[in-house]
Chain A
Amino acid sequence: MNYRDEYRERGVVTGLAGRIARLARERPEPLTFMEVCGTHTMAIYQYGLRSLLPGGVRLVSGPGCPVCVTPNDYLDRAIALAKLPDVTIVTFGDMLRVPGSRSSLMAERARGGDVRIVYSPLDAVALAEKNRGRRVVFLGVGFETTAPAIAASILTARARGLDNYYVLAAHKTIPGPMETLSDDPELAIDGFICPAHVSAIIGADAFLPLAAKGVPCVVTGFEPADVLQGLELLVRQVLEGRHDVENQYRRVVTREGNRRAREIIRQVFVPADAAWRGIGVIPGSALVIAPEFRKYDAAAMINVQVEEPVEHHGCRCGDILRGKVSPFDCPLFDRTCTPESPIGACMVSSEGTCAAVYRYGR
């Protein structure tokens, strides 16, 4: 057992799909479920799971791609920092090609900017240690899954006495937007496929308030059989008139999550209001660097001029992130906006809905 291949077995996948179809027949009205996490979106398209579902079960993609929900002004600041001669920008690969208002990190690198991709934020700390004469800025983007790793990198930099390591933080927490979207009458969501690895940190119980409001929630893994079983549990909740938090992903997620990771988040970050592309400002849904760690905060410590942000004309990324429209409704999709020359973030990130639909769903 390697905890992955077992959940890709064809017989199990088709059996679960059949079970969902049989259950859905018991209910004439169509059902709409939202998968919140970009990795779920990717899995759903990659394995063609939509084609296995009955017509009455509709899946909409939510705001769970961190790169996609990060507004342009963040990227514009990162790009401005990349122009400084003594700054090294370090990031996960996804950010490189995201267009800011007027440029991208990839374009800045082509112009001679020092922009590097790493696997772990600890690689960025090591880079700072080796290059004491440079200011090394890690782009801290991601949800609760990633935030503890970034927080740990700051603690590591402090333990090693570095004064040239910074984080440009744009971390977001996911329950807030789920609550906002669950209130949207136009979307009329019948249940959430709750994010898998975010839940490894925050625990399944984090969705209890949402369930208490009447929305069925199932914490679901990322393999194809996981996603279908998550959907089966959601359909069953609706049929039985329940709205609970169920945990399909018990091999990874517990009710309370990873307490140590949350403690590290609490130590380094404090909650603040966050702007989400497509949704707007959600109170308390950002994690910003706490005053005690201000010397590691790139936004506070490195002064740059950032021009007024410009959104990309015609791009419907914002509506797509709210599940309001599909990529096919966007006038740019597969015309001027492609993975080779993306216009909106949803096409760039490997987890963006547009990228998933472009690769697997056309």
Chain B
Amino acid sequence: MKGWLERLRRTAESSSRRRRMEAEMAEEFDFHIERETEELIRSGMGAEEARRQAVLRFGGVERHREAGRDARRARWAEDLVRDLRFSGRTLARDPGFAAVAVVAIALGVGASTAIFSVVNQVILRPLPFAEPDRLVMIWEKNPEKGWERETAAPANFLDLREQVAAFQDVAAYEDFPIRSVLTGDGEPTVVGVASVTGNFFDVLGVPAALGRTFRWEETWSGGPSVALLSHATWRDRFGGDPAVLGKSVVLDGQPHEVVGVMPEGLDFPGGASELWVTAGWDAESRSAAWFRRAHWVRPVGRLHPEVSIEEANGQIAAVMAGLEERFPATNRLMGAGATPLQRFIVGDTRTALLVVLAAVGLLLLLACVNVGNLLLVRAMGRGREVALRGALGAGRLRLARQMVVEGAALAAAGGAVGLLLGWGAARILEAFQPPGLMAPGPITLDGRVLLFALTVTAASGILFGLIPALWSARAAPADALREGGRSGASRAARRATGTLVVLEVALALLLVAGAGLLVRSFERLQAVDPGFEAAGVAAMTVVAPGARYDSAEKRAAFFQELVRRVEALPGVRGAAAVAQLPLTSVSWTSDFTVDGWGERYGSSVAHRAVSGDYFGTMRVPVLGGRTFTGDERAEGPLVVVINETMARRFFPDEDPVGKRVVYDQQAGPESTWRTIIGVVGTERQAGRLAAEPMPEIYEPFPQEPRARMTLVARTAGDPGALLPALRGLLKEIEPTTAPHDLRVMTDVYDDASARERFFMGVLLAFAAIALALSLMGVYGVTAQAARQRTREIGVRVALGARTGDVLRLVAGQGAVLVLAGMALGLAALLVAGRATSALLYQTEPTDPLTLVAVSLILGGTGLAAALVPALRARRVEPTVALRAE
């Protein structure tokens, strides 16, 4: 901004400087001539004659002036100002053209700025921690269980922390979303809580804004429970009062002492961390097998300075190999590795975003080619003017520069509008971002984004300014004048516009095909059977407050009462409770073996406790045997229901009903046996519809009691209307708590494909813009050609050509360009299409149906764009056409 004003000031100054310079030059010349005259008079010449001689000797004043100006270097700036003024005038004379060009550039710059701002926020911006480059995420893997980048077992984490020398320290957080009810003054509210080890913030290098962070000892239970507040929670709930330190907050009935407030904006582990508590593990668990068998922590390590991640990975592998030897029961084939923290957080979003960035790059290129082509087409129309100016002595460079200046003026205007568009688009992207796609925090137009927008604008300005400039520098004036007399443009220029249109159509085809593939992929995703009927179901997640429901029996009674009361609500057709809603996440998995399998066992089977008529309420079909009656008791007999995936994978040729299972690799004398009583349809478990379903075991609630359950209620009417009633009911039964989550099942279902819908929306927007731009190109070139051939058409019509002939003549050329562009685009798609597979679900980048549909859309609209000027040309009156020009 400042640079702009400065330039403006200097331009104004240079013009006043120029005026002064001219005056001084004149005075200097006058002085010279007078002195010369005096000298001649002194040598005896007559006054009149002396004056004449002096002027003669001095030579042409004008010529000297010009040479003087050149020497003064004022010329360049002066010409630039004149070029700018000229550009302004010509653009103002054709506001339609200027508007189209500015909009095209603005769309290109805007779209790319918006996408770049997301890339900047997700991939480029460093994490808000001290020396984030030294932070790594440690994960576990197990080929047998199909684990890759999985959570770690806490015992393994502790061993890695103590034995891997590459790390200065390793902390961990518990990787499941915790929401707790915060009670105290006023209504109980639900807050997002992160549970971490005591050294968590020391490893991240984030000090408390107020008070202190946790200490390592506080990782373990025994001491007083402590909590840290997020800045926002402190401000909104505690009025920003520093006296909050040392106060007690009650989370799910448990008092915690507030020891500190974290700095503003800190939200890690991601999601909605409003409070941090310590893991509070029992120190005795450390030697227990389950502490090494269950996986739920995410260790974050800080490397020693100058230590590479490869070195750390080598040491981790060695430690894990040692653990496998010592603990074969839990650590068989268990490996681990480390990834830079930022890389890990971004995950596979990175690939998807880079694909979108590439797509927006194509869009920008298309916009540039389009504007360049428009300028060139217009320059062809101005062929005579250009040639005339050339013949009158305007240098070639000067003429080319005129084009570049015009391009730059358009680019500046387009860039400014584009930046605004980009800002708006970034807000839209932010509003529609699927959960978990982006790192938390607002998308901002920071310096890097502004620099990007500026660079993109400048580069595009040069690119499309250069296109007509190159051509106009190449055309010899004589040719242009001769051709200009009749048909305007040189053959070279016409070939150039044709090539550009082919390029435009090819680029548009790539983008439309990209969007088409995503639509197709989304369609396939929507066809995925989630295994339940989402419509008509409301869901409320509730945690039984630990202080009041301290036994399995009390919790069972609480949820049974809740289900019973919900069932009695008017309009409710059925209700049940489940430990984890489908399409959200998997709560826990285990190995298992079956009576009679011997050494054989299965891995990674998911578990879920259900209560009441869950399968009936969710309309999960029963495929064999029976489901739970509701009379199951904790003491047995222990029964389970399995899903279809499990039945097919592990019991392909036999009936699983009646078989007995143990949740372990090998059964022992201590094993708890459970009997399979039925098989139900497979519900998709993971939070993404695209994820493969897992084999799963359902347990009746009394035999697998949990404190956190989700109530599901099916209603005949609008489930959204049921939500307030559910909330009210909970308050009535248990006033000290509040719903952790309350929503309709169709929202859960939509969230599971939100990511795909998001990328589809983005690419559809790109495709629409691309299609519009390329049509503009086809139309512009065909219309220009038709105008130039008006006379020829007139002659033909006069000689008896029919409408069809004229249409073929005019539209034919456009059609050839469109077809050539489509061929080029399809060829490019076959080569580059692979790149989109990161965004696709069960869809090949060469999906024939998509390719045909895209070709039809592009071909159809392209031909239509070529046909419009042809239809106009058809109405040419021979007499008018012949008189034209």
Asked whether A and B interact, the reply is no
